[in-house]
Amino acid sequence: MGATLIEKIIRRNVHDDNVKAGDIVFVKPDRVMIHDIFIPFVADKFREMGFKKVWDPEKVVIIYDHMVPASQVDDTRHFRIGDAFAKEQGIEHIHRADGVCHQLMPELRYATPGDVVFGTDSHTVTYGGVGAFSTGIGYTEMAGILGTGELWIKVPETIRVNVNGKLPYGVTSKDVILTIIGDLTAAGATYKSMEFAGDTFDAMSVSERLTMANMTIEAGAKCGLFYADEKTAEFSGVLCDEAHGCFKDEGDGDYAEVLNYKAEDFVPVAACPSQVDKIRPISELKDIKIDQVFIGSCTNGRLEDLRAAAEILKGKHVAPYVKLIITPASRSIYIKAVQEGLMKIFNDAGAIIMNPGCGLCCGRSGGILTDGETVVATNNRNFLGRMGTNKVNIYLASPVTAAYSAVKGYVTNG
């Protein structure tokens, strides 16, 4: 029996070719990420544990994205503590309002193929889109890593997802991952690695893979992994060989479960209020009027997402009484969108264009909703209270569905 992708990555990290699912091993992270919400708790716990010096400041990244610009009086405390800790420990990789942490980590090549990366956020799984084992941890575990340079994990079992064929027009990677989550359920991949393979994924861009990896946590997965290829290597600035984490897919691992799909069977879908695994085809959602549309987040705020939305919105205008909020995932994406004329299209369509960040997705600022309002959103969670009060109806969908819905004023894909 061969090895799963998660086993290959961990074997590389611990230098042991016998590691298998179920083993408990100590891994040495190639990079860790702490965002603004958790930095005070990490710093306090670090000192409480008796540590004086971070094991390797070069491997630590601090990102301010959830609380910028500040929306509550206490927010600036997090910035002050984060800056002080970074200065004290010699941490130079610190990003203030440069974008969403899960976009910046792969975009700036902090997370590359074959790496082991931990972050203080559940959607750290996103970096599996470039073939890195990345997962979220709490502030106690992060403080432990900062002091020791290692963390124990149980090697996850793997659910293999095979998809072959060409996706129908208008169907995106967001529709694919939502459909898979619906089939698995929100707990169906708990503490397992989801490994994606097939020519459908081979044809996907790195951005599309990042979208899918991002949402594997919504099925409970420990990580969601794609085999790195030439596209990944170019994106991450590495050579495409096993020495740089680009492993070959033999497809002969010891899988806990195998799911097989035909690409042509996928259709545009939405996750309906208020569960991520409550999936319905858009064609079945009739006469659902909306108050707001959100296109952005670490799930679908990348340049390809903005292009897809702009193609639909060009020459059109947002429906009366509907607010369309556009939030690019990073500064560089924002700049490229301006250069390509996408921002003018959004502006002419009546959209509200926000700074790169997490505000609306995590319900802190930038367009939160109130009782009885309905939003079509491209982010990753539609839990009660996620984007406002617990009586807001959140439909999760692709940028294509979101853009069409913004123009029509109700949930639609065309």
pLDDT digits (tens, 9 = 90+) for 8-19: 999 999 999 999
At 393, the amino acid letter reads N
Collapsing DSSP to helix, strand or coil, 270 comes out as: strand
Percent residues over pLDDT 70 in the chain = 100
pLDDT digits (tens, 9 = 90+) for 5-45: 999 999 999 999 999 999 999 999 999 999 999 999 999 99
Q: What residues form DSSP beta bridges with 375?
A: 292, 394
Percent residues over pLDDT 90 in the chain = 96
**pLDDT-derived band of residue 76, with 50, 70 and 90 as boundaries?**
very high
CATH 1.10.287.990 fits domain 5-263:
no
For 197-228, the DSSP string reads: ESHHHHHS-HHHHHHHHHGGGGGT-SEEEE--
Cα–Cα distance between 386 and 368 in angstroms, integer?
A: 9
pLDDT digits (tens, 9 = 90+) for 89-143: 999 999 999 999 999 999 999 999 999 999 999 999 999 999 999 999 999 999 9
pLDDT digits (tens, 9 = 90+) for 350-386: 999 999 999 899 888 889 999 999 999 999 999 999 9
Alpha-helical segments (H) within 68-198: 75-89, 101-107, 139-148, 173-184
Q: How far is CA 178 from CA 257, 281, 291, 398, in A?
A: 18, 10, 23, 10
DSSP 39: H
Answer whether residue 80 shows pLDDT above 90: yes
Collapsing DSSP to helix, strand or coil, 232 comes out as: helix
What is the enclosing helix (H) or strand (E) of 337?
helix 331-339
Average pLDDT over residues 174-191: 98
Using only C-alpha atoms, the chain has a radius of gyration, in whole angstroms, of 21
Q: What residues form DSSP beta bridges with 261?
A: 163
Average pLDDT over residues 323-328: 98
Cα–Cα distance between 193 and 245 in angstroms, integer?
A: 17
Quote the pLDDT of residue 169.
95
Mean per-residue pLDDT of the chain = 97
Quote the pLDDT of residue 212.
98
- Checking DSSP bridges between strand 292-296 and strand 323-327, what pairing results, if any? parallel
**Contact assessment for residue 58 and residue 29, using Cβ atoms and an 8 Å cutoff:** no
Residue (of 351, 353, 348) closest to 323 by Cα position? 351
At 354, the amino acid letter reads M
* Residue 400 CB-half CA count within 13 A: 15
Q: How far is CA 27 from CA 46, 126, 148, 190, in A?
A: 19, 19, 11, 20
- Checking DSSP bridges between strand 279-281 and strand 269-271, what pairing results, if any? antiparallel
How far from chain centre, in Å, is Cα 161? 18
Q: How far is CA 408 from CA 317, 327, 403, in A?
A: 9, 20, 9
Residues of the chain with CATH 3.30.499.10: 5-263, 271-408
pLDDT digits (tens, 9 = 90+) for 227-280: 999 999 999 999 999 999 999 999 999 999 999 999 999 999 999 999 999 999
Answer whether residue 1 shows pLDDT above 80: no
Cα–Cα distance between 211 and 50 in angstroms, integer?
A: 39
Quote the pLDDT of residue 72.
87
Q: What residues form DSSP beta bridges with 116?
A: 133
Q: How far apart are the first and last CA of the chain?
A: 47
Quote the pLDDT of residue 399.
98
Answer whether residue 73 shows pLDDT above 90: no
Average pLDDT over residues 320-348: 98
Cα–Cα distance between 29 and 55 in angstroms, integer?
A: 11
Average pLDDT over residues 180-208: 98
Tally of CB atoms within 10 A around 86 = 20
Answer whether residue 286 shows pLDDT above 80: yes
Which CATH number describes the domain made up of 271-408?
A: 3.30.499.10
